[in-house]
Structure 1
């Protein structure tokens, strides 16, 4: 008999867990899917014992196994450190890939990995990127300037005010404008 639906099944159609409860595959799959939808029920368990990975993998089809593995990776990261797509029509979890501009694998929209909102325009900094703000403050004290094209900080150590950035942009070190436009 299935411990969940109480239907009578032949023993070979039931999965026996470590706590001695038996589940039919339909109920076991439901238990696993419920845990995937509600983190408070994660990982899937019965009688406070985690259900073994092998048992879970046998109960799920290939697509659900992939979804289960993705959910395991998501839930392994503390909730405060997770990034979710800020677009309401998506809201998918985005696996860790640093800060800066990241692409949502579900909807392909750009997301700011620092503030977790929609990506900022190419020439705009994230107002919540405190490390960048500290670097910019130090650059201002040191007299550095940012490249107008790639936004990299540049320090002139010698020579004239014509700067060629590593990205190939040419600009004036005094005003930051495109070279020969100031």
Structure 2
């Protein structure tokens, strides 16, 4: 049985979609013990990158969740290709003789899927932060600490720049009909919001 077939039958999780796989190995060709060469398959899914070796005496199954991948390093010399997948505290080094197109596709899937997870995480954190800032502004308006106009200007600043804490002279909300910009020119309240 091929490694990819074994992965699909025994290791695949619900909702997991295989986007790329390469045959190759981990370890050193002349290595000993845990460091010796293990032939297997690198499988890239929408959730993880995994190396699977299934042999007579057991299996090796190493996984890295896509969202934990911090960088991907590649090298290619005369058809020999090396792929290092890094996390903040570990890495997986996979070697293969796969053709350039298949190797490039696997690397692209790791990078784009991982970037998607990072964007989703960042987007969720940003959304929570914006909601918190807007609730705080609404509470200040309700308490009478901000007028309606001040609230609208501050809200516009938060939505445009992500936070009231990012205020600089150039981005500060203008609370009068005319404000002086850092370069000495006037700017109207409409430009600030």
What TM-score, normalized to structure 2?
0.31
Structure (1 or 2) with the greater helix fraction: 2
Higher relative contact order, chain-length normalized (CA < 8 Å, sep 6+): 2
